[in-house]
Structure 1
Amino acid sequence: MKKNLAIAIIMVFMLSLLAACGSTKEAEPAATDAGKATATAAPGATTAPAAATDAPAASNIKGKVTFATNRTDMIGKQYVEYAKKFNEKYPEAEINFEAVLDYDKTIKIRLASGDLPDILLIPTIPKADLPKYFAPLDDLGLNDRIYFKDFQATEGKVYGIASGGNTSGIVYNKKDFAEAGITEVPKTLTEFYAASAKLKAKGFTPLASNFKDKWPLGGWINDVSTIASGNANTMNERKNSDAPYSVEGPILAGSLILKEMNKQGYLEKDINSSNWELSKKDVATGKSAMYYLGNWVINQVIDAGAKTEDVGFFPFPVNDSGKLAAPLGPDWFYGVNKDSKNLETAKAFVKWLIEDSGFDDFAGFIPVLKDKKPNLPQLSEFTANNPTMIEGVPNDDDTTAINNKAQITAEDLVQEVVLGDPKAVAEKYNKKWADAKKALAK
């Protein structure tokens, strides 16, 4: 990614947030890792978007297609309306939705078996493998209108389009903070621990970890390592080391913070029974005071019963430097199975999701379309804390290959550090990494 691209998107992002500050519309409710392209116009500008002249012909958009989604909470609800609206636009087309848990792991298994739906979210695979499974999406007329187009691209072709953009931080219940006497959001890790102690003393669960459901733990490595190091390439640079995991390094920094939170009783009483769906209600009602997640969860908390004005968002202070930072990058990427029997219909649904569904507003995303501004007031509070926004970068193919060979998942690593001896866990994962790297001669 070129330096000027990073500067451009961050400028557009900030302009977007300023424009969103005056919005009174309540966004409605979305889900894992924190890149950018040069904008032709700031969100809200009058410049017309590029014409989608190469979009699939309507006459070819027919037949049944299935979308495998990680948004299990939308099955039987919002997706019913999506299917209806898409069918109104394309009467001969039918969209079905398949809910998938433990998405990345499950879809990678299905890639190997060939059991793929028509539309899916692209798992963590090397970009060189994209043409094996996915159809190019350059004919949708979106390439010049979107951010992150180079993330899931190879050999000059785009195979994935981001569902939206994200940053991560602390989503919190403002009523809980007020009752605990917390008048300012924490700016250092010491202040964060102190706030957690005050919340616990008032009977609140300071932080909902979703430890049992596991997938929400990924940010404690993928995002916190970026914040702690100030380097978006921290996870990619693992390929340069035979021992990238260390209790002194940035990769385990978030896991060690979570371990301390658990030790002090600042997480759920029984972390092995924590539940994702219940935790949203707990944060909404104030039983739990905080999350460490992306901005996408804000609307889910509101949908679970919280008032918009009672939900806040601030950068996570991972150390005592007083210098706040946050990752900035794409959420999941939509991809289309190259062997879909109704390929044009599948592509048309991806285009519809980006342009017409309103999913980015529903999910609380930073829109992937360059000419669309975000609709989430909590983002203005976040940026008021002046964090350094660290632009995400695409996954490095060599690093991804080593990681897959070693069968390392960030969520498992976090759990093992929290529940075990961090040094022993680091040694275990360093050995797995070194063995995989040697086997692949990387």
Structure 2
Amino acid sequence: MKKTALLGMAMVSLAAIGLSGCSSASNDDGDPSGEITVLTNRTDLVDTTFADYAKAFEEKYPGTNVTFEALTDYEGDVKIRLNSKDYGDALLIPSSNVTKDQYSSFFEPLGTVDEMSEKYRFVDAGAYDGQVYGISTFGSAMGMVVNKKVWADAGITEAPTTQEEYLTDLQAIRDRTDADPYYTNYADGWPLATIEGNLGATQGPEVRMEMAEDDAPWTEGTDQYKIDDLLFQTVKAGLSEADPTTTNWEESKNLLAQGEIGSMVLGSWAVSQMQDAAEAAGASRDDIGFWPMPWQVDGRFTSVTASDKVLGVSRNSDNKATAKAWVDWFTNESGYAESQGAISPVKSDPEPDTLSDFSALDVQYLELAPDPVGKEALLTDIANEAEIDIFGNTYRQKLIDTARGAADGDEDSFFSDLNDRWAAAQEKVSE
């Protein structure tokens, strides 16, 4: 696969058009000047990379000043702050507690879907009713970050093509190496939420509406079942860490990099972090690879691509011109996506080297279809009514507890309860 052909999207000149919604809006609101506060979840970058970004932005726009607030519990903290007008000037739009039909209540429009789609990927992620309220910081392809050396030591050099083969391979890692075959990241929680990004890998781009219309999505054959059954069976077989309550995300990067963990299901954004950790530990960056999930359709792997967080401007900002200029600059000039080894939101940017394994395996990429107009919040509404945080981590923590025998029940009872709650919520939401 050529880098310029990622996702089959036509490339446009970066110089041809800017972030048109932001640019025009900034002109309407005045030239960038004064101070802005930017909320971020990147606690690991705020004093280094992001400090450099602020300096570069301030040099481009003399008289501006960018201050960051890095939040460890980003979703939880921002949820509370949205109840006030104090949630910064530019911020990542929370994904678990703000529905798309609420965007206009909290965020400024940046442009129309039609004009933004000419230049940017993942536009729908921050859009509602034809308006864009947030621009993707970067995109990721879903798969497994693996320590290839660990897998090779267990006698495995090729990506598994089925769940059965995958579990057999993890068992080989358990039997032949000292590594934990899989790591759940149970304690931090949010990495468990990211595995939902595999939705669509076998069902296709319309999967969200199919799930919203399905009264039993945790039934064998659906993507939702595949995602959660894979996790359940992995934990049940003793192929993950001994005590999930003691996991630590930052430490997990070092453990995988040093060969103490064999694999984690994450987005491709994580690859460069693991490679950096390997290099820091004196290991080879080449030990870290990225393989597709162990499901094929017609003999071919599919990876779902999607936006990570989207960056927006507070409706209550006192300095919208500078906040919009920041969003424009961060998207087009910071190089953030490249630095993360991620898919750039700018269509003209090349595919990252972190997806080289996918190229060799001829993995096809899939971006989910936009939800139909008027149904943008349907799936989230059903999930919220059912109290099943499919885009969160609580129910998967309970899934892990059930699988390892720390909670009552088994997989059948666990999935049956999810289906019952989903069906009841679906009926109520449709009233």
Matched, 1:265 2:238: yes
Identify which of 51, 56, 68 aligns with 1:97: 68
Aligned length: 406
Structure-2 residue corresponding to 1:16: 3
Equivalent residue letter for 1:56:
S
Give 1:311-322 correspondences, 5 Å limit. 311-318=288-295, 322=299
**Where does residue 110 of structure 2 map in the other structure?**
137
Residue 431 (structure 1) shift: 4.0
* Equivalent runs, 1:278-297 vs 2, <5 Å: 278-297=251-270
- Paired residue secondary structure (2:207): coil
Quote how far apart the aligned CAs of 1:143 are.
5.4
| 2: CA distance, partners of 1:182 / 1:323 | 19
The aligned residue for residue 378 of structure 1 is: 354
Distance 1:113 1:55, change over 3 A: closer
Which has the higher mean CA deviation after the structures are superposed, 344-353 or 81-90?
81-90
Q: SS where residue 386 of structure 1 aligns?
A: coil
Which whole-Å CA distance do the structure 1 matches of 2:346 and 2:133 have between them? 17
User: Which residue does 1:181 correspond to in 2?
Assistant: 155
Q: Which residue number corresponds to residue 271 of structure 2?
A: 298
> Map of 1:113-262 to 2, 5 A cutoff?
113-124=84-95, 125-138=98-111, 144-200=118-174, 201-220=176-195, 222-227=196-201, 229-246=202-219, 249-262=222-235
| Cα distance, 1:397 vs structure 2 | 1.9
Q: Which amino acid aligns with 1:50?
A: I
The reply on whether 1:50 has 2:31 as its aligned counterpart is no
| Pick aligned residue for 1:87 from 54, 58, 70 | 58
TM-aligned CA deviation for residue 245 of structure 1:
3.2
Aligned-partner Cα distance in 1 for 2:188–2:298 = 32
> Structure 2 vs 1, CA of residues 178 and 211 (structure 1 numbering), >3 Å: closer, same or farther?
same
TM-score (norm 2): 0.85
Q: Is the 8 A contact 2:142 2:267 kept in 1?
A: yes
Distance 1:115 1:431 in 2: 39
Find the counterpart in structure 2 of residue 408 from structure 1. Answer: 388
Identity percentage over the alignment? 32
Aligned partners of 1:343 and 1:47: how far apart in 2? 24
Distance 2:301 2:8 in 1: 24
Shift of 1:418: 2.4
Structure 1 position 331 matched with structure 2 position 308: yes
Cα distance change on mapping 1:146 and 1:308 into 2, 3 Å = same
- TM-score normalised by L of structure 1: 0.83
Indicate how the Cα distance of structure 1 residues 127 and 358 shifts in structure 2: closer, same or farther if over 3 A, else same.
same
Partners of 2:76 and 2:211 in 1: how far apart?
21
Distance verdict in 2 for CA 1:94–1:102, change over 3 Å: same
Q: Helix, strand or coil: the match of 1:65?
A: strand
Q: 1:212 to 1:414 in 2, by over 3 A?
A: same
Note closer, same or farther for the CA distance 1:179–1:426 as it changes in structure 2 (3 Å cut).
closer
1:16–1:342: structure 2 CA closer, same or farther, 3 Å change rule? same
Q: Which residue of 2 aligns with 1:7?
A: none
Q: Which amino acid aligns with 1:215?
A: W
> What is the aligned partner in structure 1 of residue 378 from structure 2?
398
After superposition, give the CA deviation of every residue in 1:364-388 in whole Å (9 maximum; x if it has no partner): 11111111113x3231221221233
**SS at structure 1 position matched to 2:223:** coil
Separation in 2, partners of 1:301, 1:400: 32
Mark the CA change 1:316 to 1:241 in structure 2 (over 3 Å): closer, same or farther: closer
Cα distance in 2 for partners of 1:283, 1:105 equals 28
For the Cα contact (< 8 Å) 2:107–2:133, is it kept in 1?
yes
**2:417 counterpart residue number:** 428
Paired with 2:30 and 2:241, the residues of 1 have a C-alpha distance of 54
**Which stretch of structure 1 is more off in the superposition, 198-207 or 348-357?**
198-207
Q: Equivalents in 1 of 2:382, 2:297: separation in Å? A: 33
Please state how far the C-alpha of 1:321 moved relative to its aligned partner: 7.6
* AA aligned opposite 1:64: E
- Which whole-Å CA distance do the structure 1 matches of 2:78 and 2:413 have between them? 30
Deviation at 1:320, TM superposition (A): 9.8
Kept in 1: contact 2:191–2:266 (CA 8 A): yes
Looking at structure 2, the residues matched to 116 and 110 of structure 1 have their Cα atoms a distance apart, in angstroms, of 6
2:81 corresponds to 1:107: no
One-letter amino acid of the counterpart of residue 340, structure 1 = S
Match of 2:37 among 43, 48, 66: 66
Using the alignment, how far apart are the partners of 1:183 and 1:432 within structure 2?
Answer: 42
Separation (CA, whole Å) in 1 of partners of 2:124 and 2:208? 18
Tell me which moved more, 313-322 or 346-355: 313-322
- Conserved 8 A contact 1:167-1:294: yes
Q: In 2, are the aligned partners of 1:230 and 1:390 still within 8 Å (CA)? A: no
Q: Which of 321, 324, 337 is equivalent to 1:347?
A: 324
The one-letter amino acid of 1:217's match is L
Tell whether the 8 Å contact from 1:177 to 1:199 is kept in structure 2 after alignment. Answer: yes
Q: Distance in 2 between matches of 1:59 and 1:110?
A: 27
Determine if contact 2:296/2:302 at 8 Å carries over to the other structure.
Answer: no
Structure 1: unaligned runs, 5 residues or longer: 1-13, 20-35
